[in-house]
Amino acid sequence: MTHSASEQAALERFRELLRIPTVSHADESHIDVAAFDRFIETVERLYPAVHRALEREIVAGHSLLYRWRGTDAGAEQPIVLMAHLDVVPVVADEWNHDPFGAELVGERAEAEIHARGAIDDKGSLVAILESVEQLVTEGRAPASDLYLAFGHNEETAGDGARAIVAILRERGVRPGLVLDEGGAVVDGVIPGVQVPTAMVGVAERGVMTLVLTAREAGGHASTPPALPATARLARAIDRVHRHPFPVRIAPPVRALFATVAPHAPQPLRWVFGHLGLTGPVLARIFPRLGPEMNAMVRTTAVTTQLSGAPGENVLATTARATLNIRLLTGDTVAAATARVRRVVGDPEVEIEVRHGSDPSPVSPWRGAAWRRISLAVASSLGREIVTTPYIQLGASDSRWFTEISENVYRFTPFHLTRSERDALHSHNERIRVDVWLRGIGFYRALIEG
């Protein structure tokens, strides 16, 4: 595919912003603040029409909130388009290309941009800016107010998006549609379904961290007790691993299979269309089909960090494990904590909730907001694509917006392969040029309604 001059220019703007290493860290002393300053200054320089027509506020240091006033004072509720400008750290030696070089690799339909943030989430952020720049330049404007909400510390669950929500709430803004990053257009995710599906998150799983701690008197490793703190902790971890949370099909997952059922061959069509009968069996089968399907039907728990003694010949006085738990819709932090405590079954293992948030409310997959997304998918990405609800497996800044809107959705308008999805938060993150350019068209279609 030969790209037009305007597409080439958009691509160069994208690459310039990808080269700015806006890496977020939980320890804010490690953040390169100058990179975030440069990113904001570069956005202002690259998108003059946006900054001429829209009002901009810098929130909580480096988050950005834009307002494009609608032309119809009596129009429907405003729309919020979200993205975030921060990216996760990189291990440069693991990459085939400079993670902040934004190198173009391949030609024509195979051309890709390799860079941290190419998909998560500068791909969406820049595509949104490109669509608005086009519309402003053409003299167009939305009927209702349009807000652009770009957080600066989404990857560390920081305060940027929450501060934006606080401002909007104080001003009485109640969006009729909020769209953040999330599911993508994918192939072959649902067994037996061959048509591409646009996976639009209508809810997010909750996120919590449990800390398991075992203690003992300590001493020299040459004379260990019968059950050292490390062994007690290992037993607790093993019990959690061997007793996973029960499986069940939550309402958004039921809706997903009802939506794709007409596109599945028999007998899967009947199976997906009659989950009242087949759901319990399917819920037990799905975990065997891979991590994504497992995460759709149960709360998951995994040990992510371990610590013990400070030396190799010293008994640990304190052994700790960190459990990352993702709560399926309908579960709660309190219930999950109680279940882990029962499964561990050892009062000598302390269990502490370091932090946690329950699953988000479920947004409707019917109504004006949902239709607007579905129509934008069909008109810009392909009429053969089936738009379906699902539960977002990861967390995003959109969860804060559920405080001010009942219509919060999570969708990244890019057609991604499995290997491209696997590169998120890993090495060799990349996006195909043509896929990214089509994403601009999606945001434009969504804004125009």
Q: If 0-12 CB within 10 Å is exposed, 13-18 middle and 19+ buried, where does residue 50 land?
A: buried
Q: Give yes or no for a contact between 352 and 341, defined as CB atoms under 8 angstroms apart.
A: no
Beta-carbon-side half-sphere exposure of residue 165 (alpha carbons within 13 Å): 18
250 phi and psi angles, rounded to 5 deg = -75, 160
Q: What's residue 12's pLDDT?
A: 97
Rounded to 5 degrees, what angle do the CA atoms 143, 67, 19 make?
A: 120
Question: Do the two domains 5-183+364-382+390-448 and 206-357 of this chain adopt the same fold?
Answer: no
Instruction: Report how far residue 66's alpha carbon sits from residue 64's, in angstroms, rounded to the nearest whole number.
Output: 7
Q: What's residue 295's pLDDT?
A: 92
If one counts every other C-beta atom within 10 angstroms of the C-beta of residue 96, the result is 11
Q: Give yes or no for a contact between 319 and 233, defined as CB atoms under 8 angstroms apart.
A: yes
Q: What's residue 66's pLDDT?
A: 98
Map 323-388 to HEC letters.
Answer: EEEEECCCCCHHHHHHHHHHHHCCCCEEEEEEEEECCCCCCCCCCHHHHHHHHHHHHHCCCCCEEE
If one counts every other C-beta atom within 10 angstroms of the C-beta of residue 324, the result is 14
Let me know how long the chain is: 449
The DSSP line for 29-67 is: GG--HHHHHHHHHHHHHH-HHHHHHSEEEEETTTEEEEE
CATH class of this structure's domain 206-357: alpha beta
Residue-level pLDDT, tens digit, the chain, 449 residues: 678 999 999 999 999 999 999 999 988 899 999 999 999 999 999 999 999 999 999 999 999 999 999 998 777 799 999 999 999 999 999 999 999 999 999 988 889 999 999 999 999 999 999 999 999 999 999 999 999 999 999 999 899 999 999 999 999 999 999 999 999 999 988 888 999 999 999 999 999 999 999 999 888 888 899 999 999 999 999 999 999 999 999 999 999 999 999 999 999 999 999 988 998 988 899 888 888 889 999 999 999 999 999 999 999 999 999 999 999 999 999 999 999 999 999 999 999 999 999 999 999 999 999 999 999 999 999 999 999 999 998 889 999 999 999 999 999 999 999 999 999 999 999 999 999 999 999 999 999 98
256 phi and psi angles, rounded to 5 deg = -60, -50
- Residue reference for tokens 């890019």: 414
Write down the domain spans for the chain: 5-183+364-382+390-448, 206-357
Q: What's residue 107's pLDDT?
A: 87
Q: Where are the beta strands (DSSP E) in 139-205?
A: 146-151, 177-186, 197-204
Q: What's residue 393's pLDDT?
A: 87
Q: Where are the beta strands (DSSP E) in 231-343?
A: 300-307, 314-315, 318-327
Rounded to 5 degrees, what angle do the CA atoms 15, 17, 18 make?
A: 60
According to DSSP, the β-strands at 146-151 and 79-84 are parallel
If one counts every other C-beta atom within 10 angstroms of the C-beta of residue 48, the result is 12
Question: Could you tell me the two tokens for 398?
Answer: 């959109």
CATH class of this structure's domain 5-183+364-382+390-448: alpha beta
Q: What's residue 240's pLDDT?
A: 98
Instruction: Report how far residue 385's alpha carbon sits from residue 263's, in angstroms, rounded to the nearest whole number.
Output: 11
Widest distance between CA atoms in the chain:
80
